[in-house]
Structures are given as structure tokens and as C-alpha cells.
Amino acid sequence: MKRRTLARHGREGIKNIRRNGWMSFASISAVAIMLFVVGVFGFLIINTNSLVDTIENDVEIRAFFEQDVESSQQENLMEDIEQNASVESVIYRDRDEGLDYFLDSLGSEGAVFENLRDENPLNDALIIQATDPQMTEPLAEEIRSQPEVETVEYGETILSELFTVTNYIRVIGGALVIGLIFTSIFLISNTIKLTIISRKDEIQIMKLVGATNSFVRYPFFIEGMLIGIFGAIIPIAGLTAGYYYLHSFMYDQIPFFTLVDPNPMIWQVSAILLFISVIVGAFGSQMSVRKFLRV
């Protein structure tokens, strides 16, 4: 193909958007609305997952030493635990700190127990976090078996239920995202198909006048790609602005619950939306044109 013919196909692709004004408008709008919905759900699922991660990361093991364990023994055990591959972090908290922490956690109610300071019932402890929160239980059992350790606490009763719930949330979220992506692919390609079916006669005439299949196809490829680009730009702009606003709004209003940082998450989501839209637009048009080329 000559270069000027390639340039001609590009020009025709652009002109066709204008020539089929209403049809282009309708398909760009349909693509935009679809991607907007996918984007909103995407944000929702990403934030739910991040919330689930935060909850899981709050899970910690508290291992209390026996009363009579020497500080050197405590240090040795702490080093051993730090060496363990499934341990994220170990913090040493002596009994006085432990009591402060306990009383603080009770807030104003803590005043009732102030007299405990005279005779601290707590032991020195290690606060351990597992690299994978779901590995907390086996890790806790391992630590429990150490002779220096008196008791181990990690909220064992609610832990397995918590992980069941969080795993469900993750699976459902993932399935929703995949389902939405497939639905959007299907709907975008169907929209493109409609614009092309309405131009079946045009394709037939091109063929009868002696156009090769690729000559017919190229402008449709460009047109499909452009519909994809225009259809993606609008929701991407809206979603980006909306998310930035919502992020700062939530940050001001509900400080203890922050949304996932917009940067780089929003750019990643935008890139995925644009990619889906352009690829489906360009290749969806090709699949639809193919049917009418047999003239």
C-alpha cells in the first residue's frame, strides 16, 4: 500500500466520524457510559480490598514471657523470631509499656484501673506481625511452643471467621471486575457493530467498485479506534476529577478512614479503561466489517 493511501485511510476514518454524526455520537456516549460504570465499580472494589487489607494487617500476635525469663533470653528469642521468614516485624514491649498501652486503649474508663500501676499484673511481651496475616495462626502456635513463652494471644476465635469474610470479599470483588470488563467488551463491540451494520450498503458498494478488503477495512479500523479513544476520554476525565474530590473530602471529613491514594491508582485504572476501549473499538469494528466483505 502506498503511503498516501494509508494517509487517505486515516483521513477517511476521521471524516467518517463526522459524516455519521449521530451514530458516532451515540456509540461514543454508549462507550463512555459503560466505561464510567466500570470505573466506578473498579474504584469501589479497589477501596474495599484496601480496607480488607487494613483490617487484616491489624492482626497481631502478643507473646507474653514467663515471669522469670532473663532479659538475655528474651533478646535471644526475639532474634530467633525475627529470623523467621514469615515474620514481618517484632516489637518488644515491657510490662510497664504494656500497662500504659492497655490503660490508653480503655480511654477515660482506664482511670478505674490506675491502681494496677502499683502491682502490674502484666508480663513483658513481644508484639509480632506476620508477613501474610493469614499465616498468623501457625506462627502463633510455633511461638507458643517456646519454653520462655507463657501465653500467646492473637484473637484466635474471630480470626478464622475474619479471614473467611475477607477472602469472600476478595473473590467476589475480583469476579465483579472480570465480569464487568467482559460485559463492557461485549457492549462496546456491539455498539460498534450497530454503527457498521447501518453502513452495510456502503461496504457493498465499495466492494463492487473494486475496493480490496483491506481498503474497506482500514478507515473502519481508524474510526473504531477513535470512537474508543473519545469514548474513554470523557469517563476518565470525570472519574479522575470525581475521585480526587472524593479523596480529599473523605480525608477532611472522616480522618480514620482514608480512600486509596489517587496516585498512581487512578492512572492505572485510566490506562486499563483506555486500553480496553481502544482495542475493542478497533478490533470490534474489524470483526463486524468482515461479515459484509463477502460481496
Partner 1 sequence: MITMKRVRKQYPNGVQALNGMDIHIDKGEFVYVVGPSGAGKTTFIKLMIRELKPTEGTIHINGKNLGDLSNKQIPFLRRKIGVVFQDFKLFNKLSVYENIAFALEVIEESPEKIKSQVMDVLEIVGLKSKARFNPTELSGGEKQRIAIARAMVNQPAILIADEPTGNLDPETAWSIMGTLEEINNRGTTIVMATHNSHIVNTLKKRVIAIESGKVVRDEAGGAYGYEA
Residues that bind partner 1 (CB under 8 A): 1-2, 4-5, 8, 19-20, 201-202, 204-212, 215, 295
Q: In b/e form, how buried is each residue of 251-290, taking b as 16+ CB within 10 angstroms?
A: eeeeeeeebbebeebbeebbebbbebbbebbbbbbeebbe
Closer CB to partner 1, residue 85 or residue 208?
A: 208
SS3 category, 93:
strand
Closer CB to partner 1, residue 18 or residue 104?
A: 18
Task: Supply the minimum distance, in Å, between the C-beta of residue 175 and partner 1.
Answer: 43
Contact, 28 vs 232, CB < 8 A? no
Residues 6+ apart with CB under 8 A from 177: 41, 42, 45
Helix, strand, coil share (%) of the chain residues, nearest 5: 75, 10, 15
Closer CB to partner 1, residue 206 or residue 278?
A: 206
Closer CB to partner 1, residue 15 or residue 117?
A: 15
Task: List, in sequence order, every residue forming a beta bridge with 129; answer none if it has no partner.
Answer: 89
Contact, 90 vs 126, CB < 8 A? yes
Residue 227, all three cell numbers: 470512537
Residue 86, all three cell numbers: 514469615
Task: Supply the minimum distance, in Å, between the C-beta of residue 4 and partner 1.
Answer: 7
Task: Supply the minimum distance, in Å, between the C-beta of residue 225 and partner 1.
Answer: 20
Closer CB to partner 1, residue 20 or residue 74?
A: 20
Closer CB to partner 1, residue 147 or residue 210?
A: 210
Contact, 36 vs 238, CB < 8 A? yes
Task: Supply the minimum distance, in Å, between the C-beta of residue 25 and partner 1.
Answer: 15
Task: Supply the minimum distance, in Å, between the C-beta of residue 291 and partner 1.
Answer: 15
Half-sphere exposure of 50 (CA within 13 A, CB side): 13
In this structure, what DSSP letter does residue 36 have?
Answer: H
Closer CB to partner 1, residue 111 or residue 295?
A: 295
